[in-house]
Amino acid sequence: MGSRRIWEIDFFRVMAIILMVIFHTVFDLNRFVGIGINYLSGFWYWEGKTSALIFIFLAGISSGFSNNSISRGSKVLAYGMMITLVTYIFFREQYVRFGILHLLGISMILFPLFKKMNNMLLFISSAVIALTAIPLKNTMVKTSLLLPFGAVYKEFVTVDYYPLSPYLSMFLLGVLAYKMYYYKKQSLYEFNYENKYISAISKNSLAIYLIHQPIIISAIFLFKFLTRSS
């Protein structure tokens, strides 16, 4: 395969990026413009969740392609902590304690352990983690220390929350897909739809994640300023 990328992984990652940008635009229009779009349930909620689930699943696969998933995961986790700091400054009580980058960072760090597990154990672990989300979600605790695991306290609010339960289950399914199908680091399809633009966007997905919200918010405030001035 040489240096060629796996086109379907790039394709679905770009689809996730598009869904993410659309969802965050809807979120920002609601928060900063006051447009009454319900993103907490229904279509827009699931549109955003679909984007996140694709990202998490693909991260499980892609960790197998990394030369050092621990180093990569530590970098992603550091960016997650940076987002915690920034959102604490701007959102205060709704700041991100354990968002999707925290989840991905820790999952990538643990990837070498997951890779050593046999396939059946990976599948069972994924199912158990997903199922524990129901009782954890309905359990109120008095500490924030259990937030990474999916147990919340009564006053908890945040703009981004992806606890290990249930979302680690999707990462484990990605690891399983890598071990079963993508360990050869080749496309599963005989045909090739590789596109240099899609590959470039996919390759820079982390950078896009970090900068897209400031760009959207800046565009919204610029539009508000220009419409007020005219």
| Residue 68 domain flag | yes
Q: Which long-range contacts (CB under 8 A, 24 or more apart) does 4-8 make?
A: 4/192, 4/194, 5/194, 5/199, 5/202, 5/203, 6/182, 6/185, 6/186, 6/187, 7/187, 7/189, 7/192, 7/193, 7/194, 7/195, 7/198, 7/199, 8/187, 8/188, 8/189, 8/193
Residues 46-102: pLDDT tens digits? 999 999 999 999 999 999 999 999 999 999 999 999 999 999 998 888 999 999 999
**Mean confidence (pLDDT) of the chain:** 93
User: 225 pLDDT band (50/70/90 cuts)?
Assistant: confident
| Residue 227 domain flag | no
pTM: 0.93
Range of the domain at 116: 7-219
Q: What is the mean pLDDT of residues 116-135?
A: 95
| Residue 51 domain flag | yes
User: What is the pLDDT, as a whole number, of residue 92?
Assistant: 85
| Residue 228 domain flag | no
- Token pair, residue 93, equals 């009580």
| Residue 230 domain flag | no
Q: What is the mean pLDDT of residues 149-175?
A: 94
| Residue 168 domain flag | yes
Q: How many domains does the chain have?
A: 1
Q: Are the beta carbons of 31 and 69 closer than 8 angstroms? A: no
Q: Are the beta carbons of 56 and 130 closer than 8 angstroms? A: no
- Token pair, residue 198, equals 């899609």
Q: What is the mean pLDDT of residues 14-29?
A: 97
List, in order, residues 6 or more apart from 10 with CB less than 8 Å away: 194, 195, 198, 199, 201, 202, 203
| Residue 181 domain flag | yes
190 or 21: whose pLDDT is higher? Answer: 21
Q: How far apart are CA 63 and CA 142, in angstroms?
A: 35
